[in-house]
Copies of this chain bind each other. A is one copy, B any other.
Amino acid sequence: MERTQVLIVGAGAAGIGVALALQRLGLDLRVLERNVIGSSFRRWPAETRFITPSFTANAFGLTDLNALTPETSPAYSLGQEHPGGAAYARYLRALARHYELSVEERTAVEHVRTFSEGFRVETTRGSFEARFLIWATGEFQFPRQDLQGARLALPYARVKSWAALEGETYTVIGGYESGLDAAYHLVRLGKRVQLLDPSAPWKRSTGEPSQDVSPYTLERLREALETGRLELRQERATRITRANGQFQVYHSNGVLQSPTPPILATGFEGGFEPVRRLFEWKGPAPLLHEASDESTRTPGLFLVGPKVQHRDTAFCFIYKFRARFPVVAEAIGRRLGVDTAPLEVYRKRGMWADDLADCCTSRCTC
């Protein structure tokens, strides 16, 4: 049995990032990771890139959109504007090493229970206890599969490399970032692609990055459309079947047939199982106190990462959810009676979103 002040579950961007904020306060913490640091990123398709561009403008308070601390920048350490998953995992590993974080790899959480002095977490490598628990598991490994016949499809997250796929024609289901990324890479490889999405995200222009397609992808989309091999269809896929050696995707207006399994790119769910009952839920979103991202049901349990949601804002990019690291760290630090001044640098560097009325919805005028 090991006891620390804080346990963090997940050594991806959210877990490593919040751990480094807490470490500034001198807290005793441990990160538990069921696989290895950054393993979700390592499972990205080889060609997938960050859609948020990295740039080394930290010193002007415009911190690299993919950075996890105010003093680091993937643009700097990787020399790339749009890192791939494997490269970003190297950045995570470099952070953990440089700051000497305590990370237990290959330690999967099996049960979590609360008791008078906090949380007891049972893992495949023994028990851990802590007063505070931060849930920071990734979502990439949990594709949403609620479409009928979804098991016949190839989920985006299961693709190792688009170049390894055979066949000349593809159906892609889902037209937000993952679906458009799949379509772009397949078209680049000379294949024909039909993409279905009832909400046609490629047509939206709200100014809010969680709604709109990113500028990076808009540029790639124009390139893909110019080949004449991509068709974007505003239709809802309703069902997938397999017959006569072909796959059928039924949609609101007919059926598409292809010899290759359809690519399923309809989003991800969080890996909440061991703590699901410790949150209240509003649909797929766990309810959190706005001032601290703490569970409304279980004091001492915090959520960080892309599943954090407040009002109309989904903190679904790194530059968004990292802005809650100091919020969580400050809440824990105060309760432990430590000086939280070392967190101030997050505010100066555009990494602290605590005014939810003002932040965090863009509506640009030009």
Question: Which residues of A are in contact with B by a Cβ distance under 8 Å?
Answer: 52-63, 65, 69, 71-73, 75-77, 79-82, 91, 94-95, 98, 205, 207-209, 212, 214-216, 218-219, 319-320, 323, 348, 350, 353, 358-362, 364-366
- 16 sample A-B contacts, Cβ–Cβ < 8 Å, listed by A number: A53-B53, A54-B215, A55-B65, A56-B208, A60-B319, A71-B366, A73-B366, A76-B364, A76-B366, A79-B205, A79-B218, A80-B215, A80-B219, A81-B216, A81-B219, A94-B366
Q: Which residue of chain B lies nearest to A207 when distances are taken between CB atoms in the complex?
A: B76
Residues of B within 8 A of A350 (CB): 60-62, 350
Closest Cβ of chain B: how far from A192's Cβ, in Å?
Answer: 25
Q: Which of B61, B91, B207, B358 contacts A359 (CB 8 A)?
A: B61
Contacts A56-B208, A59-B362, A79-B218 supplied; 9 other A-B pairs, CB < 8 Å = A53-B55, A55-B214, A56-B364, A57-B65, A58-B362, A60-B320, A73-B362, A76-B364, A348-B358
Chain A contact residues: over half helix, strand or loop, or mixed? loop
Q: Which residue of chain B lies nearest to A94 when distances are taken between CB atoms in the complex?
A: B366
Residues of B within 8 A of A79 (CB): 205, 215, 218
Residues of B within 8 A of A81 (CB): 53, 214-216, 218-219
Are A71 and B209 in contact (CB-based, < 8 A)?
A: no
Residues of B within 8 A of A57 (CB): 52, 65, 209, 319, 362
Are B364 and A72 in contact (CB-based, < 8 A)?
A: yes
Copies of this chain in the oligomer = 2
Q: Which of B72, B75, B212, B323 contacts A215 (CB 8 A)?
A: B75
Residues of B within 8 A of A365 (CB): 71-72, 98
- Residue among A207, A218, A362, A364 with the most chain B CB within 10 A? A364
Residues of B within 8 A of A359 (CB): 59-61
Give bound CA distance, A265 to B319, whole Å: 35
Q: Which residue of chain B lies nearest to A348 when distances are taken between CB atoms in the complex?
A: B358
Give bound CA distance, A360 to B62, whole Å: 11
Q: Which residue of chain B lies nearest to A62 when distances are taken between CB atoms in the complex?
A: B350
Are B209 and A323 in contact (CB-based, < 8 A)?
A: no
Give bound CA distance, A65 to B64, whole Å: 11
Residues of B within 8 A of A76 (CB): 205, 207, 362, 364, 366
Residues of B within 8 A of A52 (CB): 55, 57
Give bound CA distance, A206 to B82, whole Å: 19
Residues of B within 8 A of A73 (CB): 207, 362, 364, 366
Q: Which residue of chain B lies nearest to A92 when distances are taken between CB atoms in the complex?
A: B366
Known contacts A53-B53, A79-B205; A91 and B366 CB within 8 A of each other: yes
Q: Which residue of chain B lies nearest to A75 when distances are taken between CB atoms in the complex?
A: B215
- Residue among A52, A59, A360 with the most chain B CB within 10 A? A59
Give bound CA distance, A62 to B73, whole Å: 14
Give bound CA distance, A57 to B54, whole Å: 12
Give bound CA distance, A60 to B322, whole Å: 11
Residues of B within 8 A of A55 (CB): 52-53, 65, 209, 214-215
Are B60 and A353 in contact (CB-based, < 8 A)?
A: yes
Residues of B within 8 A of A98 (CB): 365-366
Known contacts A55-B65, A205-B76, A364-B77; A60 and B323 CB within 8 A of each other: yes
Give bound CA distance, A65 to B62, whole Å: 8
Residues of B within 8 A of A360 (CB): 59-60
